[in-house]
């Protein structure tokens, strides 16, 4: 099978990359600044900005369709449709492209803010009050929670990842903290600081022993919900998770 050189591109990562030219059948392969891989836009700079806008556009389009398509707006029906048809657009592969710029975080959150205002009886309530009544987490908090869940899967062998290479266990001798503390790798750039393998370290290490030792994923989820609620992290309330 022959490849069409005109449909092939090379994506170089990093500012110090030499951007070597590659050839196929004697023809030079073009260079790209961004490529879509499994539905996620990957930039040569490894920034995630370009992923945010199309994700919001898709989610808002689906939200508009739901709003126009329902004659009677029932809370339970709206919640189910939102969770099934809108929120997945905002969270697909988000552990890879999770935004760290405030403008991107707020832009994503505005989609859910818009949804909560569609619910009958929510006029005059703050966003946090609407979340509490509906039993929802903020999207920012769901991403944080998702990081912990993914870390649990990696540590306990539920993902096909070599946890020892990605997350070496810490060599702490102090008694505080749990027995599965991890160490982050050294980094020199702001971009690297926000990679999953870096940003999850501090929060994971702060979990109680009962959470990291959870026998099942569902037990772990319940443990981290209690932990985050006890910390008073914004977006959690007494009804949070009720319909999740």
Tens-digit pLDDT profile for residues 5-15: 888 888 888 77
Confidence of residue 234 (pLDDT cuts 50, 70, 90): low
Tens-digit pLDDT profile for residues 84-118: 999 999 999 998 889 988 999 999 999 999 999 99
Confidence of residue 239 (pLDDT cuts 50, 70, 90): very low
The predicted model scores a pTM of 0.80
Average pLDDT for residues 133-162, to the nearest whole number?
Answer: 91
In angstroms, the CA 204 to CA 193 distance is: 15
The pLDDT of residue 151: 93
The pLDDT of residue 172: 57
Q: Domain residues of the chain, as ranges?
A: 5-43, 49-124, 142-230
CA distances from 243 to 83, 94, 116 (A): 10, 21, 14
In angstroms, the CA 220 to CA 198 distance is: 21
**Helices 139-155 & 196-205 angle (0-180, nearest 10):** 90
Confidence of residue 59 (pLDDT cuts 50, 70, 90): very high
């Amino acid at each position: 099978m022959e490849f069409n050189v005109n449909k092939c591109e090379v994506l170089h990562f990093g500012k110090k990359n030499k951007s070597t030219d590659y050839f196929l059948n004697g023809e030079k392969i073009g260079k790209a600044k961004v490529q879509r891989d499994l539905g996620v836009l990957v930039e040569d700079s490894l920034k995630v900005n370009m992923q945010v806008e199309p994700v919001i556009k898709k989610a808002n389009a689906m939200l508009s369709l739901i709003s126009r398509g329902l004659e009677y707006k029932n809370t339970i029906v709206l919640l189910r449709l939102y969770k099934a048809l809108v929120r997945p657009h905002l969270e697909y592969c988000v552990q890879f492209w999770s935004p760290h710029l405030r403008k991107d975080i707020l832009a994503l959150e505005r989609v859910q803010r818009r949804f909560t205002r569609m619910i009958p009886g929510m006029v005059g309530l703050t966003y946090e009050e609407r979340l509490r009544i509906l039993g929802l987490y903020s999207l920012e908090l769901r991403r944080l929670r998702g990081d912990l869940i993914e870390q649990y899967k990696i540590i306990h062998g539920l993902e096909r990842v070599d946890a020892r290479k990605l997350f070496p266990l810490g060599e702490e001798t102090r008694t505080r903290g749990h027995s599965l503390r991890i160490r982050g790798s050294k980094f020199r750039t702001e971009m690297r600081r926000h990679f999953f393998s870096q940003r999850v370290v501090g929060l994971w290490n702060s979990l109680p022993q009962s959470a990291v030792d959870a026998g099942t994923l569902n037990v772990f989820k319940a443990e981290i919900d209690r932990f985050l609620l006890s910390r008073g992290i914004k977006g959690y309330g007494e009804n949070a998770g009720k319909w999740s």
